[in-house]
Amino acid sequence: MSEEERQALIGMIRGFLRETDAVAVLTGAGVSAESGIPTFRDAQTGLWAKYDPMELATPQAFARDPALASRWYDERRRKSADCEPNPGHLALVRLQGEFEAAEKRFTLITQNVDRLHQRAGSRDPLELHGTFWVWRCTSCGEEREERTVPLPEYPPRCHCGGTRRPGVVWFGEALPEAVLTKAWRAAEGCGLFMSLGTSSVVEPAASLCRIAADAGAKTVEINPQETPLSSWVDVSVRGTTGELLPTISSAWE
């Protein structure tokens, strides 16, 4: 794709944004990777090189060795705390502000658990996979935001004496029903759906774009690589969100 062709596609996306009354945006690991946060499936280093992350992110792994699983998530929290929101995050904040000022609907849906969107200034993102900044007691169910880095012990303990676990959705667990319902409704009710920095292979998030398309929405993908969405969305642009979103978010200038 030539630069001229890419700029034409960017122009189409800006036109979609100006024309719609409701946009739903789904963000994936690629958006956080631009801030220096390794994607979940990136090669592990150091102490964690011998572990498969797919085997650490399960209820069974936590039950087998809660200290090990807690320490791994705490390491991810530490890396996240050292990173800052990137231009892609900030451009989404700007888009949300423009839509809300015009009394139009803007829904941000994220698969990321690092809360960089909130640190950038995004309001009320739907966290499909939860967050490792909230830890939940496996005994009494109390949830509490945990800002201490590193954690004082592994695994951390609740005031009731129970073990606390990261408030993320592990493999084999259902997504939070209320959050998923809101994401589904946003996809069904939007005029434009944007899939940003996600591989589009993890369900049920990967189905949201198709739900929007089936309901008549325009669909857009921004990703450095091709994904299963690339061949059928209305616009698919190769590139990073940090590079492209600042330009796209200037649609009102």
pLDDT digits (tens, 9 = 90+) for 191-200: 999 999 998 8
Digit-coded pLDDT (tens) for 182-192: 999 999 999 99
Fold of 3-37+86-129+176-248: Rossmann fold (3.40.50)
> How does the average pLDDT of the chain come out, rounded?
92
Q: To the nearest whole percent, how much of the chain has pLDDT over 90? A: 81
Identify the residue with better confidence: 214 or 2: 214
DSSP state of 211: H
| Residue matched to tokens 């009710």 | 189
Digit-coded pLDDT (tens) for 25-36: 999 999 999 999
CATH fold match for the domains 3-37+86-129+176-248 and 46-82+133-168: no
Candidates 89, 117, 129, 159; catalytic one: 129
Residue 129 falls in the annotated catalytic set: yes
The domain spans of the chain are: 3-37+86-129+176-248, 46-82+133-168
Tokens of 140: 């009494």
Helices (H), 37-176: 53-56, 59-64, 66-81, 87-101, 116-120
Tokens of 152: 């004082």
- From the list 11, 4, 15, the residue with the least C-alpha distance to 191 is 15
Tokens of 11: 């122009």
Predicted pLDDT of residue 52:
74
User: In this model, does residue 43 exceed pLDDT 50?
Assistant: no
Could you give the C-alpha distances from 250 to 93, 233, 239, in angstroms and in order? 12, 22, 17
Digit-coded pLDDT (tens) for 221-248: 999 999 999 999 999 999 999 999 999 9
Q: How many residues are present in the chain?
A: 253
CATH of 46-82+133-168, one of 3.30.1600.10, 3.20.20.70, 3.40.190.10, 3.40.50.2300: 3.30.1600.10
Could you give the C-alpha distances from 51 to 13, 45, 47, 105, in angstroms and in order? 41, 9, 9, 42
Could you give the C-alpha distances from 158 to 2, 132, 144, 154, 222, in angstroms and in order? 56, 16, 9, 12, 41
| Residue matched to tokens 């990967």 | 206
Stated pTM of the model: 0.94
User: In this model, does residue 6 exceed pLDDT 90?
Assistant: no
